[in-house]
Amino acid sequence: MPTASDFERMLRGVSLRVTAPRIAVLSAVHEHPHADTDSIIGVVRQNLGAVSHQAVYDVLRALTGAGLLRRIEPQGSVARYEARVGDNHHHVVCRSCGAIADVDCSVGSAPCLDASDDHGFVIDEAEVIYWGTCPECTTAAKSS
């Protein structure tokens, strides 16, 4: 887990001002990968006290735009945020409880997959979401 000094360096490294809300949001996302905005707001408020929804939304947008966070939005889910950026990894999502886990790219460097027809696009990223049932939900279904 990065320290507050690490977060300050990260922010300065992308030319963002170091502020308490930015450090708190970075910390919350590092501690809780794939957290939704409401969960992040809850963690930030535990650490900072009063902070508005809009302030957290603004910080998430700035950090995502700067490449310090990644926003994912599996079908049927609210937006989630993670600090694992720049490696074009994928995700597996539980159809039952919504749990999300990282899946490393299975075929080398980005974009990991070759499109059968790129339609003239210069493709630099592939997003794959695997769907299934997590171990906890599978066990619960078997015992029902």
pLDDT of residue 68: 98
Q: Which residue has the higher pLDDT, 33 or 86?
A: 33
Cis peptide before 111 (omega within 30 of 0): yes
At residue 89, does pLDDT exceed 80? yes
Give the pLDDT of residue 116.
78
Amino acid residing at 79: A
The pLDDT value recorded for residue 111 is: 60
Q: Could you report the per-residue pLDDT of 102-139, keeping only the tens digit for each?
A: 988 766 565 667 777 888 888 877 788 889 999 999 99
- Which pLDDT score, from 0 to 100, does residue 123 have? 81
pTM: 0.85
Which residues neighbour 100 within 8 Å (Cβ) at sequence distance 6 or greater?
34, 72, 74, 80, 91, 92, 93, 94
Of 126 and 100, more confident:
100
Tens digit of each residue's pLDDT (9 = 90 or more) over 16-71: 999 999 999 999 999 999 999 999 999 999 999 989 999 999 999 999 999 999 99
* Structure tokens given for 112: 């990991």
